[in-house]
Amino acid sequence: MKTEFDIIRWFDRHHHLRHRAMLELVTPFLAKSSVGGVIMPNLGKPITTAALAKSYKQKIMKLVPKEMSFDPLMTCYLTDDITPDEIEEGFTFPQQWVAAKLYFKGHTTNSHNGVSDWEKLYPVFEKMQDLGMPLLVHGEIPDEHHDIFDLEKICVDNFYEIIRKDFPDLIIVAEHITTRELGMWVRESVNTFGTVTPQHLVFNRTDLLSGGLKPDLYCLPILKRDHHRISLRKIITSGNSSFGAGTDSAPHESSQKYSSCGCAGCWNIIPAPSLYAQVFEEEGVFDRSDGIKVFENFMSKNLMSEVYKQKITSETMRFEKKPFQIPKIIKGVSKIVVPLMAGETLDWSYTLR
């Protein structure tokens, strides 16, 4: 098995950087690891205009350490009122965003401005299809009659299938896939892609709920039964080019995470590359002759040109099978965040070359 190898520097295709003090605290951790990130627009005041995207990007770039090359790809937050013209303005020259993100209203963090009736957005989807602008989807429609563990599966029939049929050329990215059903649907659909987080490849709902509640593992979509995790690992390690690394790294201040109504989201940017490597190792990928390529494609290449029209960097990073200690806590001036796997030692270390 290969225990030391280089790949093209990876790209995080789903990342939450927040704003103000949290933005200042977490941005350097992303910029020092991945060569860029697809930056989610779900701020308290969401990114709904080209001007807001531009100013958010400027704030991010000010926090990138001088020696690092880093490219944040901005996204637009879909609301009930957003118009096709506004979508087009941000996407065409001078381009401020590369995609739009659909949150169904009222399910996850800062989705209160999200979409309440997605069929009313058909003119927007039509415009995005014409422009070649990707639609990124948080595939869970909140509904008091449905169990939280079923929301993603139900969304395949109640949303994904319908939009796929009505807009055959629209590029769709199913974000943070957590179920076998959605993974298989993405694999079998055209113009359709998916991101997968490390936590959904490593943990299941028993890890979250058994032997004491683990707030650090609470994120949305919620961790599922183990057979989903097993299926997702098989799907992404098969070498299918429709799937890419997207951490969904989502920091919350520790006082809000560890409370009687704790926030959903795992701040996983520090352990993410190691955990992805661990999964590919455990699935036997590094024993295969094409193994490093398959891992590199998942980490650094898939989706980058087909969905995001980006050139692949020539920068590289090294993975080594040697212990990597995750810090217990990270303190900023006014914020404290706890990384996923805090205090644990992982099997794979990574360094930029």
Q: Which residues are catalytic?
A: 248
- Per DSSP (E only), the strands in the chain are 4-8, 12-15, 36-39, 71-77, 99-102, 135-137, 172-174, 192-196, 243-245, 316-320, 324-325, 330-331, 336-337, 345-346, 349-352
Nearer to ligand NCD, 256 or 334 (CB): 256
What's the Cα-to-Cα distance from 334 to each of 22, 124, 249, 267, rounded to whole Å? 8, 39, 20, 17
176: left (phi over 0), alpha (psi -120 to 50) or beta: left
Q: What residue is closest to ligand NCD based on CB?
A: 265
Count of residues interacting with ligand NCD (CB under 6 A): 11
In whole angstroms, the minimum distance from the beta carbon of 250 to ligand NCD comes to 3
The answer to whether residue 42 forms part of the interface with ligand NCD (CB under 6 A) is yes
Beta bridge partners of 352: 317
Binds 15: which of Zn ion, ligand NCD, none (CB < 5-8 Å by kind): none
State the number of binding residues for Zn ion (CB under 5 A): 1
What is the closest distance, in whole angstroms, from the C-beta atom of residue 77 to Zn ion in the complex? 12
Q: How far apart are CA 156 and CA 140, in angstroms?
A: 9
Q: In terms of CB distance, is 38 or 317 closer to Zn ion?
A: 38
Closer to ligand NCD by Cβ: residue 336 or 352: 336
Residue 9 or 257 with smaller CB distance to ligand NCD: 257
Nearer to Zn ion, 128 or 266 (CB): 266
CA proximity to 285, closest of 298, 267, 266: 298
Determine the residue type at 107.
Answer: H
Residue 53 φ then ψ, to 5°: -65, -40
Tell me which of 33, 108, 204, 274 binds ligand NCD, using CB under 6 A.
108
Is there binding between residue 16 and ligand NCD (CB under 6 A)? yes
The residues with which 15 forms a beta bridge, in sequence order, are 39, 249
Q: Among residues 152, 248, 281, 296, which is the contact residue for ligand NCD, using CB under 6 A?
A: 248
Cβ(101)–Cβ(124) under 8 Å?
no
Q: Is 248 in the site for Zn ion (CB under 5 A)?
A: yes
CB of 90 to ligand NCD, least distance (A): 20
Burial (Cβ within 10 Å: 0-12, 13-18, ≥19) of residue 129: middle
Q: From CA 186, how far away is CA 257, in angstroms rounded?
A: 32
CB of 276 to Zn ion, least distance (A): 17
Q: Which does 209 bind (CB under 5 to 8 A by kind): Zn ion, ligand NCD, none?
A: none
Is 219 a residue that touches ligand NCD (CB under 6 A)?
yes
Chain centroid to Cα 215, Å, comes to 19
Binding mask 110-129 for ligand NCD (x = CB under 6 A): --------------------
Closest residue to Zn ion, judged by C-beta, is 248
* 264 touching ligand NCD, by CB under 6 A: yes
Q: Residue 252 CA to chain centroid, in angstroms?
A: 16
Neighbours of 158 (CB within 10 A): 15
Q: Is the dihedral of CA 298, 299, 305, 307 positive or negative?
A: positive
265 binds ligand NCD (CB under 6 A): yes
220 binds ligand NCD (CB under 6 A): yes
Candidate residues 60, 115, 250, 269; the one interacting with ligand NCD per rule CB under 6 A:
250
Residues at the interface with Zn ion (CB under 5 A): 248
Residues at the interface with ligand NCD (CB under 6 A): 16, 42, 108-109, 138, 219-220, 248, 250, 264-265
